[in-house]
Every structure is written in C-alpha cells, then in structure tokens.
Structure 1
C-alpha cells in the first residue's frame, strides 16, 4: 500500500535525535530512517546487553555524548546543523532516581537546558520536540486524566526533574525563542510505553522478559497501580506529527501536548500481566512483600487537545500493543529474530486503514 506519511515532511531533512540508543530513541531513529530523513543521534552508549539500538544496526550518524556536557552538545548541534530536533535523552527510571537524584536532575533538567541553548544559537534549527513524561504532573491520584494546563510537580526525583524540564522549555519558549526566526519548541508527554526491544531495569515488560528467559516468577511491587499503557509507536507517531506541524512555522503548535491511550488503555499492572499472558503463556508473577520507594498508584492522561488540534489518534489498542510486544520478545527468545521493521510496517498499514491524519493512502 502506497501511503504519504507526515506529508513527506521528513524526507531529506536533517534530524537530530538525542537519546537515540535508548528504547524510544532507537524506535524513532528506525522510523525516521524509513521516512528518508538524514538522522544524527546523540547519546550515551546503551547500558544493557542486548539492546534495541545495537540489534537494529541502522545506518545513521552515531555520536556518543553526554547531554550534561554543555560544550560538547553545543559543538554537536553546530556541526550537525539539524533542521528538526527530537530530545529524548534522559535518566528515565523512577526507582533509579531515588539512588541517583543529582544525576537525574543534572541529566533531565540541565541536559535539556544545554540542548535548548545550543539549538537557539544554531540557525538551521526550525523545530524542537522535547519529550518529558506523563509523570511531570502534580499527581493527586485523580480518576480523570491530566490535561496540559494542570499543575506540574513530582514526588520522586525523576518525576520532579521532568516537571523541571517542562519549566525550562516553557521559559526558553517565552523569553529566549520568541523572535520570528527562532525555533518553534513543543513538549510531549506520553504514557507508559511498551514494545519490543526494551531491556531497562525496573520496567514491567523488560523485567517480565528477563523472568521468562530465566524461567522464574516475576516479583511485582504494586499489582493494583494503574497506568496509561500504549505501544511505543503510538507516542512516536504523536512526536512526529507534532514535529511536522512545527515545521509549518505556526506558533500555536509550540506548546505542551499529551499523547496517551484511550480510556481502555488505563489498566492496572495485574490486568496487563493477565492480558499479555494470553499471547505469552510463559508469564508467571507474584506480589512482593518487601517495602519499596513511593510510586504513584493512579495516573492517566487526557489527550483531547492532541485529538482535536493535531488530529492524532491511537492506532493499536491495549490488546494490540500487548500482542505485538509479546510477539517481539518471543521472536527474539526463540530465534533471535528482530521484527521491529516488520511491526512498524504493520502499524503504518493499520494507521492507513483507519485514516489517521499523518498517514494517507
């Protein structure tokens, strides 16, 4: 099926992805390469073996840099001359942030500041999508979803640092990137993303994959905690659509945006494990009796703004997301087959069938 993706906005564009060796970043690099972009990545080396980035073997510029190093980031942006920047580099783990709060703040807040400072001084940069998280909101354990106008905050260092990154972006947008020729800057807040190729510590699906490979039962901290679960490609479609709109130079898109699943995607950890077990029969788990650092029990996003103003919509529901995630890991465990590109093609085909705004047949 011949389709036009994101209006052809990325074909031939110079695109910089920070955090390209991470889970989300590697999937984004794969998609951008398929879209015909000239991709450069800026990231630390992957911290797990195996990892999705190394398995993909993409032919893109691979720069190993630390986002906390302001001079190195400035030189990299100047040398690569990107037109679009997707900022995903981060310390992304809640539990690790308790052990390394200073590293978390330095990476997520000052790292964002270093990148934005470099971008505003580089004339080629037209659009910036800075990725934060659904956890940037002051979580009051509401039953309704958080909107972009709700208060920012955070209990743990990770969540608070991402709220801080949002404030850095808002400040740059209002005071330092307000001239007509300045880059347009938006922030993107997505839910709990799942999908193949994630081997991070203290995340549900990677922990489950490791437990299955070891033939043991997975220890679960909070089986009743509810999160907005979505496949990684759902959030990435939102980021790419947002970048496309920023390239039109319309100021109204330079804001904060939520990209979360529909209401049926908000499910407890135990429900997710039960459902993924339908596609992955080896799943076994039990609840731990040990005390653990605080994590929010209830969190959901309201993505009405993205639906209404961007025309963004989910393509895969939770059942689809879990089925494709299980398929990826089973293919890896059984034959070391990397099916990421095939799953991306399937996602695009499904998006075309439902007539999404970014995928036109």
Structure 2
C-alpha cells in the first residue's frame, strides 16, 4: 500500500524536507500522513492536539515535531532554521468561527501574526524554496451571490475568524511582493471549501457534532439548517494543496498566487441536505434548530475553482454522496471496529483520481 501511494505525484515530494505547521490538527494530520506516504521527510510545528480522540494520535504518524505556539516568533524562527525545509505548508490557525467570537484577540494573534512570524522565519532560512499558506473559503467579502467567488473577488469577512483569514491573505501578498519574490521563494495561498472527513472531533463543526449527538443519543442542535456551503472531502482539499506545491517546487512562478480548491457545484448544499445524507448511515440521527444563537454567519457561500481546473488539471475526485459515504464509513469503522482506515481511504481516493484521468494522478499505479 505504501509503495502504491509513493507513486502519486511521481517523485516530487520523495526525500524532500517539508515543514508542516498545524500537523496535529484535522487537515494537518491527514496531510502529514499523505506526505509520509510520498516519501517526504516531514517536520511538524504545532500545539498539541486539542481534541480527544485526535486523528494525529490515532494515525501514529511518524514525524519529528515541536510543540510550540507560532506566536512565539523567536522560537519558531529557530526551529525553522534548524530543520531547513525546502517546502513549507502553513496550516496552523485558530479555525473556528464561533470560537473567534469568544476569543477574538487570540484569533487575530494566531491567524495574522502567526502567519507573519512563519513567513519571517521562511525568508531568513536559505533552504526554503516554496511556501503554501492555507486560508479558507471564507476570506471573500460575502455579498450573498449565487455564483462562486473567484480568486480576484474582494476579500472581507464579518466574524473575527473570516476577517483574520482575509487579513492573512494580505500578509501573503505583502510578503510575496516585499521580500520573497526577490529571494526566489515562491509563495501561494490556498482556499478550500467546507472540509469534512473522518477523524475530525472539533467543536462547532457539523460532522463532529453529528457524531457526538449520535454517540450520546441526543438531538443535534443546528444553528442554520438552510445555510449553503461547498462541502468537500479532506483529501480533495489536500490534493489541491499538493498540486500547487508541486508546481512551486518546479519553479513555476506564475503559480505563486491565490487558488480556490472547492468542490463541484453539486456538492454545494445546505446543512439540512448534509444531515439527511448522514441520516442514511445513522438512522437514529435527529436534529432541532437553535433559534437563540446570536452569532452571525453567512447563509450562502460558493467557490469557483475554474482556475485550478484549467491551469493545474485539478478537480474534486469524490462527489457529494461519495464524500458523505466515506466520512460516515470512517467513523463507523472507528466506533464499531476500533479501526482507523485513513490510509485505506487515501489509497482508494488516489485510485479513483487515476480512473478519472486527472493529470496529477496519472503517475499512480
């Protein structure tokens, strides 16, 4: 299985020293798992996993790491310099909308100044050739439009999380123009959709909340069942990140820009549709709306990923139904069989990508 996954992306990442911030988180741990299978030497910088269980611990990912806060500029710079990576993926963040209302200062500190600290460390580390900063689909000034946002649309954000991530995009642009392009360090940002998949136990996210409600035998409390989001599997977002990183490592400076990695239009669904889909796997699932929540959230959000489709040959591999099925299967295997099937799902995903003829997957055998 490991040899099979190694062939994906050819040998682009094999033997490369890759720094991954936020590697103990949901997406970060899946990316660490994938990079290890691609033969990369992965070094992680993160806070300890803040959920129990955690996908990072369950997956037993073998990588060297340092547990530190990216707000600690001096220590972060020292660790980056000591590891001397060629490629950096920056995922460390405060990623929750509701928590950003409760902890706005920490959210801004982590998401904005944490990114500044990381890019400062990169520009003072001569080994770094490329950096991919992960932001979010929520960086756009949401005006409620039904057509998907494109990379050139205005940035914005109402809540502290969204606004801080939009500010993070400005940090990326500033560092690219002011420092990194003069040092031949290629920098890109990646904006994915609402990512779901096995191994997420964060608070105030739909699928983890579904799992908790089913495990506890209680109704799920839903804030906005009519809210529309671009749902996609975690592996779809990560394949986009890897695609752009592969281009940057090949020195393609035209790719040092912002990229949307969202799902196909059929996967842009409201929350109620997702819940009915999950109810197929957990018939006991029930829910009720919470009308008391004071938190303001956008009711409609869609992404346009034509740029990645046309210039990178990237598109989502798993449609909405396959994404829901694979997400449910992961949790069922974990709770019923005590099995972690992340690697098996990675192999299945890559096989499906090749069968669909996607250019980034054609080296996969």
Trace 1:207-356 onto structure 2 (pairs within 5 A).
Answer: 207-356=209-358
1:75 aligns with 2:75: no
Trace 1:8-19 onto structure 2 (pairs within 5 A).
Answer: 8-19=11-22
Any idea what the Cα deviations from partners look like across 1:136-157, whole Å, max 9, x if unmatched? Answer: 0000010000000000010000
1:145 aligns with 2:152: no
Any idea what the Cα deviations from partners look like across 1:30-65, whole Å, max 9, x if unmatched? Answer: 000000000000000011111111111111012101
CA contact under 8 A between 2:214 and 2:282: conserved in structure 1? no
Distance 2:326 2:284 in 1: 16
1:156 is aligned, of 138, 144, 159, to 159
CA contact under 8 A between 1:129 and 1:185: conserved in structure 2? yes
CA contact under 8 A between 1:213 and 1:333: conserved in structure 2? no
Distance 1:282 1:53 in 2: 29
Which consecutive aligned stretches of 4+ in structure 1 deviate over 4 angstroms post-superposition?
none
Trace 1:60-209 onto structure 2 (pairs within 5 A).
Answer: 60-179=63-182, 181-209=183-211
How many angstroms does 1:8 deviate by?
1.6
SS at match of 2:181: coil
State the Cα RMSD in Å: 1.1
Distance 1:81 1:152 in 2: 33
Any idea what the Cα deviations from partners look like across 1:167-203, whole Å, max 9, x if unmatched? Answer: 0000001111122x42100000001000000000000
Distance 1:208 1:28 in 2: 24
How many angstroms does 1:336 deviate by?
1.7
How many angstroms does 1:277 deviate by?
1.5
Q: Which runs of 5+ in 1 are unaligned?
A: none
Distance 2:359 2:123 in 1: 30
Any idea what the Cα deviations from partners look like across 1:114-142, whole Å, max 9, x if unmatched? Answer: 00010011111111000000000000010
Distance 1:15 1:95 in 2: 31
| Counterpart position of 2:62 | 59
Q: How many residues align?
A: 360
Distance 1:113 1:292 in 2: 32
How many angstroms does 1:282 deviate by?
3.0
Any idea what the Cα deviations from partners look like across 1:334-353, whole Å, max 9, x if unmatched? Answer: 12211111111110111111
CA contact under 8 A between 1:12 and 1:38: conserved in structure 2? yes
How many angstroms does 1:227 deviate by?
0.2
SS at match of 1:331: helix
CA contact under 8 A between 1:221 and 1:292: conserved in structure 2? no
How many angstroms does 1:83 deviate by?
0.5
How many angstroms does 1:285 deviate by?
1.2
1:45 is aligned, of 43, 48, 65, to 48
Q: Which runs of 5+ in 2 are unaligned?
A: none
Distance 2:47 2:359 in 1: 34
CA contact under 8 A between 1:227 and 1:300: conserved in structure 2? yes
> With structure 2 as the length reference, what TM-score do the two structures score?
0.97
Distance 1:303 1:142 in 2: 16
